[in-house]
Amino acid sequence: MKTVKKKRLSEMVADEIKQYIKNENLTTGDRLPAAAELMSALGIGRSTLREALQLLESQDIVEVLNGKGTFIKDAKPFYIRTAFDVENEKKFLLDALDVRTALEGKAVDLAVHKATSKDISIMRQFLSDYVDHIKEGEREQANRADAGFHRALYEAANNPLLTSIIDSVWDTFHQFWNEPFGQDDIFDQSYPFHEALLEAIQKRDTVAAADSFQKMMESVKTSIEKYRE
C-alpha cells in the first residue's frame, strides 16, 4: 500500500488560485478577484484564504497590498507544466533530487561569484530563523525559513531565467519536499551543510561551496533512501 500524503486545505486552495491565474492568462501586475469573491467561488472561509495567499506570497507568485487587493507578482514567463502520478513517493523524491541537484548546483556556482552582501545577509537571517523556530518547536515556520534560504540562494545567482526554471519546478514539488512520507523533520540533519555552504559563498570559495552543496544533497538522499515504505 502507498503512503497517503495529507494535504492542507490552504495548499489545495493555493493550487486552485494558481490554476485560475494560468487559465485567465493573468500577468504581472494583474489583480485577483476580491477576497469575498474568492471565498464564495472556492467555498472557503477567510482564514483559509489568508493562509493560501500567504503561501503564494512565500512563492513570490502574488503580493497582498492592504487596502488595495492581491496582485500577480510573478507571471512566470518560462513556466514548465508538469504533472505526476506519484505511485512511489521514494522514487519520485530521488528523481526530484536529481533535478534539484542539477539546477541548484548551478545556482550555487553562480552565487559564489555574484552574491552581494545583502544576499549573504538575507540567507544568514533565514538560517538563524530556522534554528530559532526549531528550538521553539515551530516546525512549519522552520520549514518556511529553510525554503526561504534556498530561494534567497537562487536570487543570489542573479540569473532570472535559471530562477524562473527553478521556481516552476519548485511549485510542482513543493508538497512532497515539505513533508515527505508525512515526516516534517526528515531533512534536519542536512542543516550543518547549509552553514558551511553560506560560509563558502561569502568567501568566494568555489571548491568549498561545491563540496558543501554536494554533502547537503548526499545527506538528503540518504534520508530518503533510509525511509522504509
**Mind listing the pLDDT tens digit for each residue in 157-197?**
999 999 888 877 776 666 556 666 666 666 788 899 999 99
**How far apart are the C-alpha atoms of 173 and 1, rounded to whole Å?**
22
- Under 8 Å between Cβ of 92 and 229: no
- Residue 170 and residue 148: Cα distance in Å, rounded? 12
Residue 17 has pLDDT above 80, yes or no: yes
pTM of the model: 0.63
The full set of domains in the chain, from first to last, is 9-72 (1.10.10.10), 89-226 (1.20.120.530)
Alpha-carbon gap, residue 181 to 222, rounded angstroms: 14
Residue 189 gets which letter from DSSP? G
Whether the per-residue pLDDT at 37 is higher than 70: the answer is yes
